[in-house]
Each structure stands twice: as structure tokens, then as C-alpha cells.
Structure 1
Amino acid sequence: MTEKKPSPLNDIIFNVIVPSVILMKFSSDEHLGAVGGLVVALAFPVLFGGYELFKYKKFNFISLLGIVSVLLTGGIGLLELDNKWLAVKEALIPGLIGIGVFISTFTKYPVVSKMLINDTVLNMSLIHEKLNEFGNKQKFERSLVTANYLFASTFVFSSVMNYVLAKVIVTSPSGTQAFNEELGRMTLVSYPMIAIPSMLMMMGIFFYMWRQIRQMTQLESAQILKAE
């Protein structure tokens, strides 16, 4: 039976599009107001994240950090803190993930090996057999370390870009309609400027490891991929 997976389209709709529209179009006094607009907009990613967790029965630490990030954004707006804290918060979450990925390099299980190079998609038993046969086990491990460093760098990129976007776009005092509108605009802009480039970087990392596996094992693509 094929395992059901979360829909990327639903993720974009409930985490990006709907909150952004509410923040930008319904935060005026004649609609939800600044506080109501912020609460309703941020409720969507929180409730959607909880629904995904309940439906797929999978605990995802990165998703949990995403929910925490949303709650922190709500706290900054509701408590009317200086908007500089929004920029700090936007940089902090991907920064913490990047540090975690970097630290995992020095453990037995680098994050990249779990996320990109694993038994779910690749025929790892055959790959390891061929690596041992050609004496490339240590060379492969060094490639994994390199890939993990590159993976950590994608979060560094996200951290820096998040900070820059927050500083440039969100300039109004928190707790105001203007703050909500700018927050919605930042949410929309961050997807093409941060999420898509980060995704392309991850695809590049996977392609790098794919080439390393091909060269070190002399296996064909059909042999590397795990059979259904």
C-alpha cells in the first residue's frame, strides 16, 4: 500500500496564500482589525500543522519549529514589541536548524543521509555492497560530509534572507494594520525568494550525491533506485 504524503499545494495554500491574503486584505477596522486579522491569519498554519500531524501520525521537528515560529510572530504582534524582533525571529529559526544540521556532521548520522540518501528511495544495501567491493566506503562518507555542509548552508541562506526581507519589508510598528499588511507581503515574497532557491539548492545536493554514487559504485540508475 502506497504511503500517503502531505500535499505541497495544501502547504502553500494554508501556510502562505491564505494567511497573506487575510493579513493584507482583512486587517482593517471595518473587517477583522489588526489584532483579529493577525490571530485569524496565523491560526491557519498552526491548525494546518496540527491537522497534518494528526492525519499522518508523523512528528516532524522542523514542522514543529515552523509552528513555534508562527506563534512567536503572533506574540510579537499581539504584545506590540519592536518590529526588530520579527527580523531576529525570522533569522533564528532557520539558523537553529542550520546549526543542528552542521552539528550532525560530527555524529554517526548526518541529517543529509536521513533526508536525501536513505532506504526509502535508494537501494542502500546494494550501494553499500558495491562501495565495499570497490573500496570507496570512506570516499563515500567524505562525500556525505560535504553534502551535509552544503545542506547546512541552505539554512544559512534562508536565515540571512529572512532577516533582510523582514528588515526591508516590515517597517511599521507591530500591532497595527500596516504591520499586518507588510507581514503578509513578506510571507508572499519569501516563497519565491527563499523557499524556491532553497529547494533548488537541495535538488543540487541530491544530484551531487547521485553522481558520487554512480561513480563510486558503477551502478546504473535503475539499480540505484529502490524497486517497488
Structure 2
Amino acid sequence: MKSSPTHKPRPLVDLVVSIVLPSFVLMKLSGEDALGASGGLIVALAFPLGWGLFELIRYRKFNFIALLGLVSVLLTGGIGLFELDTKWLAIKEAAIPAVIGIAVLVSTFTPYPLVKALLFNPDIMDVEKIQQRLAEHNSGAAFEARLLKATYFIAGSFAFSATMNYILAKWLVTSPAGTSAFNEELGQLTLYSYPMIALPSMVMMMAVFYYLWRTIHSLTGLELEEVLASKK
């Protein structure tokens, strides 16, 4: 049986396909002299939708975040094509990160907390070495307690994202759905959400990673290069 190809992160491609191109189509090609309101919306949404489906099918790896992204795109398309009240767009924008944040919190009551999947996993850290050193120092319980605190920090970053998404959507998107003005505002929302929301959220996630590494260092004595997973 042929194995699936290894997925390599391509943040620049993700940025262009999911944000830059859809924003350009919505803001510049949605007028009646071009694609029209409905046509512009469909074409713009086709970029992130098609890319997300390609990633899922190509690498055959279930990704909860990617699935939520696809749902988000479909909901946005539904709001625009069915000309629903724009308040639903703001609710949708806030609901996606809110659902992720709630899932992070709920996962702490399961054997598979999402913080381990996001940060404390073999692709990022040398989990086996860390756990062995924690056992040698009898620090397993202390580490789990701090891991729980890191979970709260991550949930907080998603709460911040949900709040900012809602505020930004209410502020930028005011025209009725199904119009070229709505598409242009949606393009601005897509474009502005990256520097105003995604970048701060990324900084917060990096801060959580730093906190987790400092925790591991204080409990095990391991340095950063010893903590990070080595490429085989």
C-alpha cells in the first residue's frame, strides 16, 4: 500500500492562497463589470476551500483545525449567497476560535489534551527524553500541573481571537450580503484579520511555548537544543 507523502508546512503559500488571492478577488473583481457579487464570492471562497481539500486529500491526515477552516469558508459562502443578515458573519467569525478554545479546555478532561497535540508532541519536542528526565527528577506531577496552566493560556489566546474577530467583523462588514460592497468589506476583513488577529495570536502561542520550555528546563535541566525534536 502506497504511503501518503510527508506534509511540509508552507506558510507563504497558505497566506497567498487563503488570504491574499481571496481578498484581491473580493475587493477588485466583485463589481458588476467583472465577476459580479455572487461570482466574485464563489471564486474567492474557492481558493481556501480548494486548498484545504487538497491538503486533506493529498496527505490523508485528519486535521481538526483544517476542518474548522473548511466549515468557516462554507458558512461564509452561505451567508453571502443566501444574503443573510451580516450579524451572522460576526457570530461565525467569533464562533470558530471559540469552538477551538472550548475544545482545548474540554480536552483536559480526556486522556488526550489538545495542548499535547499542539505543542508537546514528538514532531516538536523530544517527548521520550523529557518524560524520562521528569521521572528521574520525580517531577511528573509538577509538569502536568504546569501543562494544565499552559492549556488555560492557549484557551485564552483563542478567546482573544474570538473577541477580536467579532469586533472586526461588526466594524468592517456593514453592507447587505449579496452585494459587491459586502464582498469588498469581506475582502478587507480577510486581509486585516491576519495582522490584527492572527499575528497577535501567534505571538501568544509562542509565549506559551516559551513558558512550556522554561517549565521543562526548570524541572529537568535540559537545554532548548536538547528539548527540541531532532530530525532523523
User: What range is the shorter-chain TM-score in?
Assistant: over 0.9
1:220 Cα shift? 2.5
1:123 Cα shift? 1.9
Residue 227 of structure 1 pairs with residue 227 of structure 2: no
Please list the CA deviations of residues 110-135 of structure 1 after superposition, one character each: whole Å capped at 9, or x if unmatched. 11112101122322222112212212
Runs of 4+ aligned residues of structure 1 deviating over 3 Å after TM superposition are none
User: 1:87 touches 1:163 (CA, 8 Å); kept in 2?
Assistant: yes
Segments of structure 1 that go 5 or more residues without pairing to the other structure are none
Give, in whole Å, the separation in 2 of the partners of 1:68 and 1:51: 15
Q: Which moved more, 1:181-190 or 1:46-55?
A: 46-55
Please list the CA deviations of residues 148-196 of structure 1 after superposition, one character each: whole Å capped at 9, or x if unmatched. 1111111111111110000000000000010000000010000000111
Residue 22 of structure 1 pairs with residue 25 of structure 2: yes
* Aligned twin of 1:62: 65
TM-score, normalised with respect to structure 1: 0.96
Q: Which moved more, 1:99-108 or 1:28-37?
A: 99-108
User: 1:23 touches 1:183 (CA, 8 Å); kept in 2?
Assistant: yes
TM-score, normalised with respect to structure 2: 0.94
1:52 Cα shift? 1.3
* Aligned twin of 2:194: 191
Name the count of aligned residue pairs.
Answer: 227
Give, in whole Å, the separation in 2 of the partners of 1:180 and 1:208: 41
What SS does the corresponding residue of 1:41 show, helix, strand or coil?
Answer: helix
Please list the CA deviations of residues 57-104 of structure 1 after superposition, one character each: whole Å capped at 9, or x if unmatched. 222111111111111111111111111110011111111111100111
User: 1:173 touches 1:179 (CA, 8 Å); kept in 2?
Assistant: yes
* Equivalences for residues 108-127 of structure 1 within 5 A: 108-127=111-130
Q: Which moved more, 1:107-116 or 1:70-79?
A: 107-116
Q: Which residue identity does 1:108 align to in structure 2?
A: P
In percent, how many aligned pairs have the same letter? 55
What is the aligned-residue RMSD (CA, Å)? 1.3
Give, in whole Å, the separation in 1 of the partners of 2:124 and 2:71: 30
Q: Which residue identity does 1:207 align to in structure 2?
A: Y
